[in-house]
Each structure stands twice: as structure tokens, then as C-alpha cells.
């Protein structure tokens, strides 16, 4: 069901994240909705007035008795809360007035009061295991009338206790004596019992089986988004990852003796509580192994609590062995772990499966205390690992106070003087941090996929709208995704109006544009387009529609023949990425280009946003970038060196086809300016001037080594924008060359006696996650491990392998890396910065860079060791023993057949990239056969056919 049209009418929208101002950041802090990742049930109306069993003072303290009633009112936290509640309730700032006014509000309209208190909360992940007498609190589902979404967090100890209560039924025993044997008769004539060993083992085994089954069933429930343990209250966080079976059995024996004398309330035996946690971790790990995208988080109470807690054992530092033992389980350390925030921060910063919840200190601490804790969290923890929660419970005011105070303190920390950035970050980064903590981190971790139902929230924070069927939440540094399917909802209409603004602003700036080339790059790296008149294009935006193309495009070859697996039925949408709108330059055409996402076809009656089609090259790259950011807080920058050979086309008599292409000039050398090169200079300068006019400024340019060859190094950008810019730049170079009667070709090696033509890619890892040396090494190790498979994308035709030879500075023939070494495929240019040399301009660069980033991600995910050492020589000129000492043991594939075989065998890379690999391999295999039918590698017909297309 689509959300109400006015649900987020008051939140601040940022039209352009890149141009955001401090006031945008301030308003985002004040208005952006939150996902409350840990809270509890509210009282039903009957018990909503203040009761003696649940004193109202609990809103700011977990003390009990005298410490709560008489002492806590003099705390700074309490005084501040009363002041703020008086504003909410429009009464005098005294506790008695606040109590009277809130009970009046409850009596007037309890539901309306709850809605006021929960305003700004988008979703609550509710632990409904907090103890309360039967009928006192509202069932979980009842809370859905107050916020858009409620999800369940299952408290594992409560499940265990419920199973134990029903123990007589599931053991098949009619009485407690069935598991006991008489031991002795006491002096008063009563009989003492002990647990019979075989029954004890049966009891333990059955209990564990039932508990494991219950956890598995809860994990399958779509309403359940995670689990929680309060072992901190029971026996502490010093949980043993393993236990000797005899120790567990002994503890079980002692536990059974206690429960026979009184009803089960709490399990107070460490060995049993530890075992419950281990069972949950095992279930969650098994699910993650089966499906890496199906991880349910495991929350742990840590730090703050009432006097039941052992304060020393509430330090999450005790959990380090457990976190290490279960790397597939995402652990959430609740309640800011106060007063152990820095300890928890260390775990969240250093373990990819540990997260820090920044809740409960609001409103338990004073404002200065809250600010101190928040600063402690942010001093070490990447903001992508911090989650927000209120720990709201019983009284709706607990939610209201927590959210109000958190926004106040966050604004002070992020924007005050001094603020956490110390001038080292932009407003854009501040907005990213705020909305991540408020919303997107929980959305991602708990797999809520709220971006599908509420794309407006992505647009509000400048990230664009993500299409249904994806799990990523947007890439703030790149483009805005535009949902395409027509919708009857007012939300879709609002989005259309916003997108119309982007288009209208562009068209106002370029009023002569009459046509829009809606572009998409297929697997053969052929740039195809549907050309749409501007009036119709504007209607597409207004109606939320998109041009369609046959699904067979996924199997289309350069000559429009199809691979065997291509489907004759079906179609997909070309969903415009309006951030890529740009006029055409270098040709006499009143037109513009726009890049697209491939969207699934839709049912016109549906109101849901259409999902992205699996195999979309741009989306494949987009996902790799997001994974690195979300899981490792690593930002990627890329830049390309465009190498072009300008040649003279010789036409046939009919002037309708090339018969050969000849060198533009032969008196030519690297970085030289011969007389023949001077003849070319006006065209080269026109290219550079036009690129600059198109918003693609070059820092320098120069003649390359081969006849008629020039290099144009492009600026660096985030990956998607970098590749989009690469194709725009190539089109401009092509267009201007054509004006001068020349053909600009990317053919890998036009002259056997000269260096080849590449599209060297510079890649750097940046951000907090890149600062750790181990991450840099693991990223590089991943790229090296998967390099043979990556070449199937980056050297995509048989001609490409004419560059896999030593001595021409094209990356050499071995899997290796080296500092400023041009005879290795990965040249290290600086810290976290490499040049990828074994890549040419023929392939689909979205897929090539996707493969490279997926390989680096895999290295990080598996923490791969860097076995290859820095190679500063041409590895082909040293002996096998010397290469072995450097860790150089593998040669690069020297044919397309070999690299495709490597890709087909590379299960890890295929899993990271998804279904696109299968389609791509099929297309390249058929393409290879088509090219071989044209002749051998030296055949002029085949050579001209390729040069005329690339």
C-alpha cells in the first residue's frame, strides 16, 4: 500500500546534495524521520494514567524505590525533562503539573496523544518481551495505528522461559517426579529427590531442540527483523563462544533442581544463558551462509540498566570473543553501552559485524552527558555503524523526550562550535551522517527496504529514489534514480513534479534542445539510444513513464544478431537518470543525452515502484560502490586516461563503408610535437576546448607513442559519474574527429610495432574505512586474486590480448603489483591509489569497474592477506625463483578464452556481481564466434569491422 501523500509533507527536501547549505543540514536534523531500532510496548488506555507500580519518574531514571522517587527528581536529566514536557503539555514546569496535564491528555484522547508523541517516527523495531502484567501493554500490532511500520525484535530469554514453562508437555512427563529419583528420607519424613541422569540429558536435548526450532521459526517470520538478548541482566556479557558438554550438563542439572521448587522466572545459570546465545548465533550464521542477504541482527543489552545488572559485566568489551567467533552474525550493542561507550565504539569500528546503538541516554543523561557520549561514539565509529533508538516504553512521553533531545544534541555536535568535523567535512557529509544515523543504517541492517515504499525520503535527503527490488539506499555522491512506473498515488505525482523541475531547469538553460537521446550501453559496449522529442520526453517524466526496449537487448550483438539465450518476448524500461542530462557537443544536432537504468516492465494497475532489472550495467556498478560504503565506510574515486588513435578512413566506391583505415601520420612520438603532429594540433585543441565547455576539464593532455595517438586524462569522480563522463568524453572526441574527416578508434593495438591503446583506470579508496592499512592490503589482495576473471570484462575481445605482452608498458604478463611500475597490471601510485593497466576501451566499463570493485570488496570481506610483494621490475625479466620470493606465481590469461574460463570458475566474483555474469559470458562467447567468422586476428576485414565500431 502506498503511503499517505501528506505523510512527509513537512520534512525538508534538498534538491541538490552537492549544493546543500548549512541551513539544509539544520532542517534535516529537525525534520527527517527516524527508524527507532529498539523500543518497547506502550500501556493500553486503561493503564495509561500514572500508576504506583510504574512511577512516572521512570522516564528519566532506571533507579528503584527511594533512589527513584526521592532522589532522581533532583538530577539534571529529570529537571530538563520536566521543562520540556511542560512545553509539550502546555503547563507549568513542575512535576505535579506535568503529571496532571498528561493524565488529562490521556483522558481526552489517548490515541491522539500517542500520535503526537511519536510524530517523526517512521518505524519501530519493538522488543515486546519487556515484563508487564497481562493486559497492561498494547499488543505489538496495535502500535501500527501510530507509525507507518512496526517490526518485532524477539527476546530470546523470554522464548526460552516460555518453553520451560511448558516443559512437562513436551517431555512427555506427567509429573515432576518423572525426571527425579528418590535420594533419601529426611528427619521430618519428607523425601529429597535428585535428577535422574538419562532423563536430564533427554530434558536438555529436547529443550535445546525446541529452542532452536522456535528461533528458526521466528527468523522465517517476515514481521521479525531481529533478536535480542538480556543476558547482561542474567549472568553478564562475558559469554563463552564454546563450552564443554559436561559443564553444560552439570549446570542444567543444578538448574532443574531449582525449577522444581518454584516456577520458572529467570535462568540464572551462566552456562545455560551462554548456550542460548550460542544457539541463536548458530541459527543466524547458518541462514547467512545459505543466503548472505538474509542476515537478521542480534541485539544485546549493554551498559545502562537497573540494579539487577552487574555493572562490570555489562561492558560489551566482554563480547569480543563472541563477535570474532560468529563473523556472519551482526551484533547490535544497545543503550550506547553507557558508561562503556568507547569500548563498544572500538568493537563497532573494528569488526564489520558490530554496530553501536546510541539510545537510552536520551533522556537518562544530562544534556552535557548526552553530548559527551555522542562525541565519544563519533570519535571512532564510522557513522554508517551507528543506529538510533529511544528505548521508549510504557509511557509515550519516553519516545517524545528521547527524539526531541537527540535532535537537539545532534545539532549541537554536528553544527555547534566546536563541532565534530573541525572543518574537515562538508555539509554534504554532515547530511549523510545525520540521515544514516536517523534512518538508513537501520533500514539497511534490518533489511526493511523502506526506500521501496517511500522513495520520497531518498529524494528528501538528496539521494534520489531507489527502485523497488534493490537493497541499497542510494549513493549520495553520484546520481538520482528516477522511479518509472505510472502510479495513481499522490506520492508518485509529487515525485513527477519534482523531476519535472529538474528537466525544466535543464531545458531553460538549453532552450535549443529538441531531442533527448535516451542511452543505454549493452554488453558489447555498444551505446544504443532511443531518441525522444522534448515534448514527449517531458510527458514521460510527468506521467512517470519510460521508453521501452525488447528484453532481447541483453543478448544483442553489434550487428543486431542475438545470442542463443536471448528472449524474443518481454521488454524493459529505460529509466532516465536525470543527473546525467547533458547537451550533445561536437555535432550539429539540437539534442541532449541522458543515461538510464534498466527497469523491469510493470503492471499499469500497480502503484509500486518498478524494480531494477537484474543485469543493468550501471546498477551493477552502483551496487558495488554502495556495498563498500555501507559495510566498510570506503568511498571510491575513479578517473580514466582516454587513449585514442586518429586514423584516415578510406571508403569504398559507393562511399557507404570503410575498406581500410590508414595512419593519420607516421612522424609521431610520445609527448613530441613534430611537424605532422602540429598539423593535428588545431583538432586536438578543439577537442580539449569542447570537453571543457561540456564540463569535463582536463588537467593536461599529450601525444602518445603510437602513430596518431593522443591521451586525454579525465577528472576523477565517484565511479558512476566517472564512467558516465568517460562515455560523454569519448563521444565528443569521436564527433570532432568526424568533423575533421577522421576516425577516432579505441582498437587495442592498431600497429604491431607500437604500443597499444588502453583506457587505464585510476582507482583510489578513501574515507574512514580506507585509513586502516589492513583494508588497503585486503582490497589490493582481492583485486589480484580475481584479476584473471576481471580481464574477461576489461580485455573483452581477442584483439585485446595483443597488449598482454611485456615491454610495452601495458601491465605485463603476470598477476602482480608494484609502486610506479608500468609493467604490472596494478601500478601503485600512492596510498590506496592504483592504476589498473590491463583494461582497454572496447569493453563495457560499467561492468569492468564493477568486477574490479567486487574483487576488492571480496578481499575486504574475507580479510585476504596480501601475499604478493611490491614488484619494482618487469617480472618477465627475472627468474622463477625471484618471482616466487615476490609472491608472483600466476600469469595473466593471454586469450579471451582463458579469461572467460577463469570468470566461469570464479564462484566468489560471480556471486558478488550477480546474474549479469551468465548473460555477459554468453554474449561474449557468441561474439567471439561471429568475429572469427570474419577472419583471423590479422585479417583486414575483421580489423576494419572492429575499428569502424570502436
pLDDT, tens digit (0-9, with 9 covering 90-100), for 808-857: 777 788 999 999 988 899 999 999 999 998 999 899 999 999 999 999 99
Please give the model's pTM, rounded to 2 decimal places. Answer: 0.55
% of the chain residues with pLDDT over 90: 48
Span 509-554, pLDDT tens digits: 999 999 999 999 999 989 999 999 999 999 888 877 888 888 888 8
Nearest to 471 by CA among 603, 690, 622, 343: 622
Average pLDDT over every residue of 688-704: 92
Please name which of 552, 549, 572 lies closest in space to residue 560, comparing C-alpha atoms: 552
Burial level of 243, CB count in 10 A (0-12/13-18/19+)?
A: middle
Distance CA 805, CA 671 (A): 23
User: Checking DSSP bridges between strand 743-745 and strand 149-155, what pairing results, if any?
Assistant: unpaired
Per-residue pLDDT at 348 = 96
pLDDT digits (tens, 9 = 90+) for 281-338: 999 998 888 787 788 999 999 998 877 788 899 999 999 999 999 999 999 999 999 9
Q: How many CA atoms lie within 13 A of 278 on its CB side?
A: 16
618/882 Cα distance (integer angstroms): 41
Write the pLDDT tens digit of every residue in 187-239.
555 544 455 556 667 778 788 888 998 999 999 898 999 999 999 998 999 99
Q: Cα–Cα distance between 19 and 24 in angstroms, integer?
A: 10
- Kindly state the average pLDDT of the residues 262-276: 82
Please give the pLDDT value at position 179. 47
Q: What is each CA distance from 607 to 206, 576, 616, in whole angstroms? A: 48, 19, 23
Return the ∠ at Cα 118 (arms to 113 and 120), rounded to 5°. Answer: 135
Tens-digit pLDDT profile for residues 548-569: 888 888 887 878 777 777 777 7
- Choice between 11 and 736, residue whose per-residue pLDDT is larger: 736
Question: Cell numbers 518509472 label which residue?
Answer: 484
Q: How far is CA 522 from the centre of its chain?
A: 25
Q: Tell whether the model's pLDDT for residue 67 goes beyond 70.
A: yes
The mean-pLDDT minimum among 370-379, 842-851, 872-881 falls in 872-881
- The pLDDT tens digits for 470-481 are 323 233 332 333
- The stretch 377-382 carries a mean pLDDT of 93
pLDDT at residue 497 greater than cutoff 60: no
Mean pLDDT of 83-88: 94
Q: Which of 174-178, 217-221, 508-512, 613-617 is the least confident region?
A: 174-178
Q: What is the pLDDT of residues 110-156, one digit of tens each?
A: 999 999 999 999 999 999 988 888 889 999 999 999 999 999 999 99
Q: How far is CA 466 from CA 122, 272, 339, 345, 486, in A?
A: 18, 44, 38, 30, 15
227: left (phi over 0), alpha (psi -120 to 50) or beta: beta
pLDDT at 10: 63
Instruction: Decide if pLDDT at 273 tops 70.
Output: yes
Amino acid at each position: 500500500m502506498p503511503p499517505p501523500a501528506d505523510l512527509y509533507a513537512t520534512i525538508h527536501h534538498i534538491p541538490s546534495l552537492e549544493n546543500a547549505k548549512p541551513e539544509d543540514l539544520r532542517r534535516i536534523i529537525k525534520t527527517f524521520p527516524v527508524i527507532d531500532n529498539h523500543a518497547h510496548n506502550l500501556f493500553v488506555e486503561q493503564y495509561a494514567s500514572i500508576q504506583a507500580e510504574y512511577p512516572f519518574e521512570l522516564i528519566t531514571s532506571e533507579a528503584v524505590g527511594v533512589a527513584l522517587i526521592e532522589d532522581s527528581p533532583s538530577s539534571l536529566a529529570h529537571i530538563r525533562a520536566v521543562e520540556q514536557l511542560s512545553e509539550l503539555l502546555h503547563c507549568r514546569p513542575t512535576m505535579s503539573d506535568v503529571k496532571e496535564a498528561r493524565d488529562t491528555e490521556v483522558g481526552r484522547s489517548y490515541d491522539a496523544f500517542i500520535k503526537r508523541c511519536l510524530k517523526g517516527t517512521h518505524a519501530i523495531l519493538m522488543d515486546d518481551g519487556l515484563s508487564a502484567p497481562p493486559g497492561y501493554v498494547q499488543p505489538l500490532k496495535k502500535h501500527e495505528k501510530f507509525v507507518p511500520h512496526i517490526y518485532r525484535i524477539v527476546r530470546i530469554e523470554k522464548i526460552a522461559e516460555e518453553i520451560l514453562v511448558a516443559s512437562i508437555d513436551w517431555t512427555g512427563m506427567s509429573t515432576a517426579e518423572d525426571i527425579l529419583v528418590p535420594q533419601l528420607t529426611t528427619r521430618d519424613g519428607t523425601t529429597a529427590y535428585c535428577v535422574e541422569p538419562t532423563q536430564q540429558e533427554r530434558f536438555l536435548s529436547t529443550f535445546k531442540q525446541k529452542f532452536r526450532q522456535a528461533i528458526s521459526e521466528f527468523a522465517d517470520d517476515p514481521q521479525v527483523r531481529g533478536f535480542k538478548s538480556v543476558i547482561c541482566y542474567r549472568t553478564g556479557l562475558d559469554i563463552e563462544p564454546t563450552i564443554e558438554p559436561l559443564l553444560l550438563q552439570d549446570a542444567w542439572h543444578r538448574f532443574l533442581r531449582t525449577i522444581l521448587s518454584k516456577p520458572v522466572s529467570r535462568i540464572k545459570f551462566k552456562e545455560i544463558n551462554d548456550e542460548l546465545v550460542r544457539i541463536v548465533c548458530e541459527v543466524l550464521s547458518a541462514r547467512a551462509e545459505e543466503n548472505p542477504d538474509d542476515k537478521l541482527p542480534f541485539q544485546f543489552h549493554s551498559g545502562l540498566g537497573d540494579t539487577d545488572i552487574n555493572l562490570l559485566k555489562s561492558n560489551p568489551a566482554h563480547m569480543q570473543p563472541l563477535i570474532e567467533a560468529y563473523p556472519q552474525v551482526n551484533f547490535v550493542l544497545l543503550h550506547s553501552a553507557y558508561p562503556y561507550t568507547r569500548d563498544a565504539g572500538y568493537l563497532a569500528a573494528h569488526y564489520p559485524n558490530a554496530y553501536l546503538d546510541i539510545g537510552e541516554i536520551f533522556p537518562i543523561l544530562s544534556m552535557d552527558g548526552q553530548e559527551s557520549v555522542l562525541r565519544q561514539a563519533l570519535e571512532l565509529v564510522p557513522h554508517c555503524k551507528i543506529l538510533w533508538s529511544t528505548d521508549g516504553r510504557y509511557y509515550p512521553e519516553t519516545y517524545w523526550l528521547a527524539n526531541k533531545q537527540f535532535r537537539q544534541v545532534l545539532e549541537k555536535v554536528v553544527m555547534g562550535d566546536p563541532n565534530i568535523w573541525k572543518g574537515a567535512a562538508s555539509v554534504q557529509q554532515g547530511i549523510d551522517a545525520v540521515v544514516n544515523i536517523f534512518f538508513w543504517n537501520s533500514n539497511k541492517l534490518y533489511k526493511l527496504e523502506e526506500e521501496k515504499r517511500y522513495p520520497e525520503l531518498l529524494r528528501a535527503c538528496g539521494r534520489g529514489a531507489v527502485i523497488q527490488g534493490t537493497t541499497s539506499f542510494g549513493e549520495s555522491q553520484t546520481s538520482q534514480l528516477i522511479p518509472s512506473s505510472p502510479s495513481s498515488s499522490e506520492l508518485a505525482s509529487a515525485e513527477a513534479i519534482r523531476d519535472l523541475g529538474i528537466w525544466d531547469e535543464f531545458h531553460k538553460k538549453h532552450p535549443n534542445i529538441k531531442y533527448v537521446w535516451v542511452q543505454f550501453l549493452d554488453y558489447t559496449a555498444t551505446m544504443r539510444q532511443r531518441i525522444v522529442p522534448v515534448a514527449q520526453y517531458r510527458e514521460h517524466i510527468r506521467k512517470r513513464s519510460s521508453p521501452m526496449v525488447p528484453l532481447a537487448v541483453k543478448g544483442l550483438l553489434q550487428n543486431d544478431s542475438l545470442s542463443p539465450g536471448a528472449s524474443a518476448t518481454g521488454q524493459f524500461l529505460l529509466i532516465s537518470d536525470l543527473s546525467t542530462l547533458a547537451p550533445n557537443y561536437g555535432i550539429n544536432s539540437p539534442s541532449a543525452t541522458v543515461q538510464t537504468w534498466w527497469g523491469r516492465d510493470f503492471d499499469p494497475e500497480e502503484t509500486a515502484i518498478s524494480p531494477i532489472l537484474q543485469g543493468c550495467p550501471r546498477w551493477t556498478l552502483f551496487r558495488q560502490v554502495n556495498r563498500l560504503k555501507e559495510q566498510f565506510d570506503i568511498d571510491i574515486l575513479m578517473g580514466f586516461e582516454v587513449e585514442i588513435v586518429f586514423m584516415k578512413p578510406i571508403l569504398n566506391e559507393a562511399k557507404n563503408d570503410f575498406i581500410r583505415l590508414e595512419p593519420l601520420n607516421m612522424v609521431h612520438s610520445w609527448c613530441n610535437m613534430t611537424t605532422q603532429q602540429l598539423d593535428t594540433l588545431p583538432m586536438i585543441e578543439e577537442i580539449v576546448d569542447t570537453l571543457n565547455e561540456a564540463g569535463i576539464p582536463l588537467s593536461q593532455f599529450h601525444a602518445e607513442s603510437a602513430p596518431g595517438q593522443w591521451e586525454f586524462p579525465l577528472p576523477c569522480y565517484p565511479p558512476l559519474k566517472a564512467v558516465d563522463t568517460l562515455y560523454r568524453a569519448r563521444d565528443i572526441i569521436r564527433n570532432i574527429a568526424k568533423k575533421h574527416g577522421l576516425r577516432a578508434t579505441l582498437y587495442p593495438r592498431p600497429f604491431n610495432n607500437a604500443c597499444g591503446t588502453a583506457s587505464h583506470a585510476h582507482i583510489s579508496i578513501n574515507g574512514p574505512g580506507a585509513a586502516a592499512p589492513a583494508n588497503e592490503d585486503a582490497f589490493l589482495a582481492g583485486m589480484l586474486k580475481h584479476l584473471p576473471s576481471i580481464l574477461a570484462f576489461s580485455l573483452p575481445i581477442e584483439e585485446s590480448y595483443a597488449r598482454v605482452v611485456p615491454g610495452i608498458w601495458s601491465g605485463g604478463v603476470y598477476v602482480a603489483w608494484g609502486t610506479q611500475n608500468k609493467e604490472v597490471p596494478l601500478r601503485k601510485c600512492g596510498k590506496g591509489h592504483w592504476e589498473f593497466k590491463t583494461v582497454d576501451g572496447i569493453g563495457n566499463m560499467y561492468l569492468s569497474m564493477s568486477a574490479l570493485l567486487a574483487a576488492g570488496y571480496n578481499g575486504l570481506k574475507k580479510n585476504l592477506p596480501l601475499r604478493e610483494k611490491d614488484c619494482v621490475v618487469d617480472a618477465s625479466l627475472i627468474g622463477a625463483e625471484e618471482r616466487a620470493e615476490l609472491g608472483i606465481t600466476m600469469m595473466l590469461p593471454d586469450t579471451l578464452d582463458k579469461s572467460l574460463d577463469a570468470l566461469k570458475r570464479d564462484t566468489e566474483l560471480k556471486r558478488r556481481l550477480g546474474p549479469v555474469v551468465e548473460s555477459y559470458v554468453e554474449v561474449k562467447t557468441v561474439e567471439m564466434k561471429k568475429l572469427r567468422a570474419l577472419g583471423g586476428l590479422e585479417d583486414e576485414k575483421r580489423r576494419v569491422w572492429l575499428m569502424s565500431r570502436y
